[in-house]
Structure 1
Amino acid sequence: MESLDQPDSAAMRAYADELRDMFRQIQDAGMELHAQARGVQVTEKSRDGLVSVTVGPRGELVRLDLDPRIYRRPEARQLADTIVETAQRAAAGARERVTEILEPVIPRAELEAHLDGDVETALAHLAERMEGER
């Protein structure tokens, strides 16, 4: 008799088979997808068009361009806020693009949990899949 708290062996086998298939897919497409994800760059312009921010796949700042017209309005706090807001939109865009690239081999919810550093949710997804709950 199996405990109600333990996943049954058939579900665990099915999950192991699914992991093996996922691993094969990642292996087959991995290098190409990895190169695509590493090459992601997203550029966003501020609403006023005076600030342009480019970020890489992890949201890291790659380039910052400031239109010379910003010096006509010397509000440093406003400029700083504009740069931060524009960089945040660019980082969100980069994250979405990386997720789209990797989604064929890594389920979106699991990838997002990992990108968020949300170990609890990532483990919950793993437990659900092991129990066959999807």
Structure 2
Amino acid sequence: MSSFGAETGSAQASRLEDLNRETRRIRTTMEGATGTAESSDGLVEATVGVYGELVDLVLDARIYRMPDAEVLAEQIRTVINDAHSKAQDAVRTKLTDLFPMDLDGPEEFAFEPFLRMAGRSTEGGAR
């Protein structure tokens, strides 16, 4: 028999409340997490959320002096990806007690399905 099954109702309720608190902490941490990166020449700056959403993009007016759109596009992609990595690193740092530090990229870092399931189970909602 599992230790969870052997617990009394009040012990189970206490564990569920602890899980609910941790779930809220994770959500709060992830909702506010952003990362900001800047290009080496300082012409492009991006702020990105932990799920990759672009929060802010600042383009210095001097970019118009550079007629190569492909170079500019690559520079923007690089800055956005760097900012996304920084946002994920910020969350990893804040949640080191819950998640392993060897997560390797966005596909392993997408905790949203876990948070939805955990939220439902602690709030008593249906699947």
What is the number of residues matched between the two proteins? 103
Query: Which residue is equivalent to 2:20?
Result: 27
State yes or no: 1:116 paired with 2:107: yes
Where do 5+ consecutive residues of structure 1 fail to align? 1-8, 119-134
Residue type of the alignment partner of 2:33: V
Structure 1 residue 45: Cα displacement: 0.7
Query: Which residue is equivalent to 1:127?
Result: none
Say whether the 8 Å CA contact 2:34–2:84 is kept in structure 1.
no
4+ residue segments displaced more than 6 Å: none
Structure 1 residue 99: Cα displacement: 1.6
Q: Highest CA radius of gyration, 1 or 2?
A: 1
Please give the alpha-carbon distance, in whole angstroms, between the structure 1 residues aligned to 2:84 and 2:16: 28
When residues 114 and 57 of structure 1 are mapped into structure 2, their CA distance, relative to the original with a 3 A threshold, is closer
Query: Which residue is equivalent to 1:49?
Result: 42
Query: Which residue is equivalent to 2:124?
Result: none
Alignment RMSD = 3.3
TM-score by length of 2: 0.64
Residue type of the alignment partner of 1:62: V
Say whether the 8 Å CA contact 1:37–1:101 is kept in structure 2.
no
Where do 5+ consecutive residues of structure 2 fail to align? 6-11, 110-127
Q: Counterparts of 1:1-134 in structure 2 under 5 Å? A: 13=2, 26-104=19-97, 106-108=98-100, 112=103, 115-117=106-108
Query: Which residue is equivalent to 2:115?
Result: none
